[in-house]
Amino acid sequence: MNIVAPRVKTLPAGLAEALRAIVGPKGWSDDPATLDPYLKDWTGYYHGTTPLMVMPASTAEVAAVVAACARAGAAIVPQGGNTGLTGAGLPQGEVLVSLRRMNRVRALDPLDYTITVEAGCVLAAVQQAADAADRFFPLSLGAEGSCQIGGNLSTNAGGISVLRYGNTRELVLGLEVVLPDGQVWDGLRRLRKDNTGYALKHLFVGAEGTLGVITAATLRLFPKPRELATGFAALRDLDASVELLAILRGASGDAVSSFELIPRLGLEIGLEHDSAVVDPLAAPSPWYALIEFSGTVADASTRPKLESGLAAALEQGVITDATIAESLDQRLRLWRIREAMVEFQYKAGASIKHDVSVPVSRVPEFIRTANAAVAAAVPGIRPLAFGHVGDGNVHYNLTQPVGMPRAAYLERAADVHRAVYDVCAALDGSFSAEHGVGRLKPYLVKEWRGGAELDTMRRIKAALDPLGIMNPGKVLP
Ligand SMILES: Cc1cc2nc3c(=O)[nH]c(=O)nc-3n(C[C@H](O)[C@H](O)[C@H](O)COP(=O)(O)OP(=O)(O)OC[C@H]3O[C@@H](n4cnc5c(N)ncnc54)[C@H](O)[C@@H]3O)c2cc1C
């Protein structure tokens, strides 16, 4: 089946009136100034356009909106917090469906260790609701103050706790979804075991809004960490990153909850642009690891585990120096190094970015080989490779050479991407570890996931969304 997305710049007659009637006066806007923040993304690379944004306040309203659009053959783009990094949540003429008014916590069951929330709940609010009930929701990422659970599910977000708790996919028990014909699938089950046919919820996780609108989710909660120990270590070299991770996992009874690789350039970006960043170690090192251990029992055992793990690594020559946070303030300062690097990297110049993954053991090989490949393509290019190395996820961002004009550098983006993705493919990696495909990378889906895999994806899309109205032009080539 040929799925042709209807792109509407003006809506079919009567549709705008019908949608406005469904959502009421507070639930829509076509005012350019109001729409502006929803039509550009965090990176500044993507811009969108829409004839109308609707903000339904209930599942029934979402269902009525989708049904009306389906009847009129008008396409829809669901949007959460608009923090996505691939342009997936920006419309290109479609009706924009913002979930932000659907932000209620519907239920929290401390005995089941579950929380049921509407899709428009901001991630930080879900963390806080769990915390207030003496429980823990582990999904955590830099955008947690703005991104929404519906967006997290639709991108299968990763973040800094994947090593211990898994991606968003591992955190979801049940979903409520409005399907492309307006039907509501109520799959909000709280079951840990449920082998009753195809696991439909997993179709919608990571689908980037191309198969339906997620309206609510039941999520797994965990015992709250009672102790945290945060350390910062200077690595002997790049290979030492995975050696250190292996030592710490073995020495701690798997208490490692985060393990982030940080290059010297990343620390220097923070030192230059953020007064909260200090260099925690005496001598500079080309590579660092930011490590966090967590323990759910307050028995003062977590810090000693980190201490003894780092001592063993020092003795074996895997690290050359390390420090452990003595207070909450020091812990936040160590994490600030990681956050400032991401926030201020743009100040070092134009950046060509990649969000790749390889098997954990091959992270050093990936970075080394890719560094050589991109230096051959653009001499003087400055790699800023960092990320959740415990998950094999490298944010491989490449800053423009000093002295090279920005535009001339960005013109080389295709060559740089090719060099990086070739190395990644040779190491059995993925071209998108956690940010998704969106508008940016459908061509790579064709190259990397062609044949039976792409054919199956297309059949699923055609079966669920025969009119092609759900977030057209995203994910599938
Ligand atoms: C500073 C910063 C740090 C980040 N760190 C990380 C990180 O560590 N790990 C990580 O994985 N990502 C990270 N991201 C990327 C981003 O935050 C995640 O992709 C996040 O999950 C997107 O959520 P959102 O609500 O903003 O979704 P949006 O950007 O609004 O949408 C993303 C996609 O989901 C779809 N969508 C949104 N809501 C729904 C819904 N209810 N139903 C169906 N489809 C929907 C949209 O159509 C779009 O395709 C970061 C971003 C920033 C800006």
Answer yes or no: is the C-beta of 99 below 6 A from any ligand 1 atom: yes
Answer yes or no: is the C-beta of 157 below 6 A from any ligand 1 atom: yes
Q: Residue 149 CA: which ligand 1 atom is closest?
A: 25
- Angstrom distance (rounded) from CA 289 to CA 390: 10
Which stretch of 24-28, 252-256, 381-385 has the lowest confidence by average pLDDT?
252-256
Share of the chain above pLDDT 70, in %: 98
Query: Is residue 47 domain-shared with residue 75, that is, in the same domain?
Result: yes
CB-based contacts of 334: which residues, under 8 Å, 6+ apart? Answer: 230, 231, 232, 280, 290, 325
- Angstrom distance (rounded) from CA 180 to CA 236: 53
**Best mutation site among 40, 77, 79 for ligand 1, i.e. most ligand atoms within 8 A of its Cβ?**
79
Gap from CA of 434 to ligand 1 centroid (Å): 10
Mean pLDDT confidence for 25-54: 94
**Best mutation site among 42, 45, 141, 389 for ligand 1, i.e. most ligand atoms within 8 A of its Cβ?**
141
- Angstrom distance (rounded) from CA 189 to CA 192: 9
Q: What is the pTM of this model?
A: 0.93
pLDDT in tens, 381-430: 999 999 888 889 999 999 999 999 999 999 999 999 999 999 999 999 99
Mean pLDDT of the chain: 94
Please report whether residue 244 resides in a domain.
yes
Mean pLDDT confidence for 180-191: 97
Answer yes or no: is the C-beta of 440 below 6 A from any ligand 1 atom: no
Please report whether residue 476 resides in a domain.
no
Please report whether residue 6 resides in a domain.
no
Query: Is residue 256 domain-shared with residue 200, that is, in the same domain?
Result: no
Q: Taking 70 as the threshold, does the pLDDT of residue 331 lie above it?
A: yes
Please report whether residue 4 resides in a domain.
no
pLDDT in tens, 286-315: 999 999 999 989 999 999 999 999 999 999
Confidence of residue 3 (pLDDT cuts 50, 70, 90): very low
- Angstrom distance (rounded) from CA 391 to CA 399: 24
Query: Is residue 261 domain-shared with residue 218, that is, in the same domain?
Result: no
Confidence of residue 2 (pLDDT cuts 50, 70, 90): very low
Residue 362 has a CB neighbour count (10 Å cut-off) of 18
Query: Is residue 189 domain-shared with residue 244, that is, in the same domain?
Result: no
Answer yes or no: is the C-beta of 82 below 6 A from any ligand 1 atom: yes
Query: Is residue 265 domain-shared with residue 239, that is, in the same domain?
Result: yes
Structure tokens at 50: 């829409």
- Angstrom distance (rounded) from CA 353 to CA 366: 15
Query: Is residue 265 domain-shared with residue 335, that is, in the same domain?
Result: yes
Share of the chain above pLDDT 90, in %: 91
Q: Residue 88 CA: which ligand 1 atom is closest?
A: 49
pLDDT at residue 9, rounded to an integer: 66
Nearest Cα residue to 430 out of 167, 51, 243: 167
Q: Is 383 helix (H, G, I), strand (E, B) or coil?
A: strand
Query: Is residue 110 domain-shared with residue 204, that is, in the same domain?
Result: yes
pLDDT at residue 45, rounded to an integer: 81
Structure tokens at 313: 């690594």
Residue span of the structural domain in which 214 resides = 105-223
Chosen domain end from 178, 203, 223: 223
Q: Taking 80 as the threshold, does the pLDDT of residue 4 lie above it?
A: no
Q: How many domains does the chain have?
A: 4
Chosen domain end from 78, 98, 118: 98
User: The domain spanning residue 331 has which CATH number?
Assistant: 3.30.70.2190
Gap from CA of 150 to ligand 1 centroid (Å): 8
pLDDT in tens, 79-137: 999 999 999 999 999 999 999 999 999 999 999 999 999 999 999 999 999 999 999 99
Please report whether residue 188 resides in a domain.
yes
pLDDT at residue 254, rounded to an integer: 80
pLDDT in tens, 431-467: 999 999 999 899 999 999 989 999 999 999 999 999 9
pLDDT at residue 323, rounded to an integer: 98
Across 164-310, the runs of DSSP E, i.e. the strands, are 172-178, 184-187, 213-220, 222-223, 227-235, 256-263, 287-295
First to last CA, the chain: 14
pLDDT at residue 8, rounded to an integer: 53
Structure tokens at 241: 């990153």
pLDDT at residue 7, rounded to an integer: 54
Answer yes or no: is the C-beta of 142 below 6 A from any ligand 1 atom: yes
Mean pLDDT confidence for 472-477: 95
pLDDT at residue 252, rounded to an integer: 84
**Best mutation site among 39, 82, 83 for ligand 1, i.e. most ligand atoms within 8 A of its Cβ?**
83
Q: Taking 70 as the threshold, does the pLDDT of residue 220 lie above it?
A: yes
Answer yes or no: is the C-beta of 387 below 6 A from any ligand 1 atom: no
Contact present, 42 and 83 (Cβ < 8 Å): yes
- Angstrom distance (rounded) from CA 67 to CA 14: 14
Q: Residue 78 CA: which ligand 1 atom is closest?
A: 47
Please report whether residue 10 resides in a domain.
no
Contact present, 332 and 290 (Cβ < 8 Å): no
Structure tokens at 44: 């500044």
pLDDT at residue 448, rounded to an integer: 93
Residue 5 has a CB neighbour count (10 Å cut-off) of 18
Q: Is 197 helix (H, G, I), strand (E, B) or coil?
A: coil
Contact present, 108 and 126 (Cβ < 8 Å): no
Gap from CA of 146 to ligand 1 centroid (Å): 9
User: Which residues is 28 bridged to in the sheet?
Assistant: 54
Please report whether residue 119 resides in a domain.
yes
Answer yes or no: is the C-beta of 141 below 6 A from any ligand 1 atom: yes
Chosen domain end from 223, 257, 273: 223
Mean pLDDT confidence for 169-178: 98
DSSP H/E element including 109: strand 105-109
Q: Taking 50 as the threshold, does the pLDDT of residue 6 lie above it?
A: no
- Angstrom distance (rounded) from CA 84 to CA 98: 14
Nearest Cα residue to 425 out of 448, 455, 400, 398: 448
114-118/95-98 β-pairing: unpaired
Please report whether residue 466 resides in a domain.
no
**Best mutation site among 77, 140, 154 for ligand 1, i.e. most ligand atoms within 8 A of its Cβ?**
154
Q: Is 165 helix (H, G, I), strand (E, B) or coil?
A: helix
Amino acid in position 57: A
Contact present, 405 and 273 (Cβ < 8 Å): no
Query: Is residue 121 domain-shared with residue 216, that is, in the same domain?
Result: yes
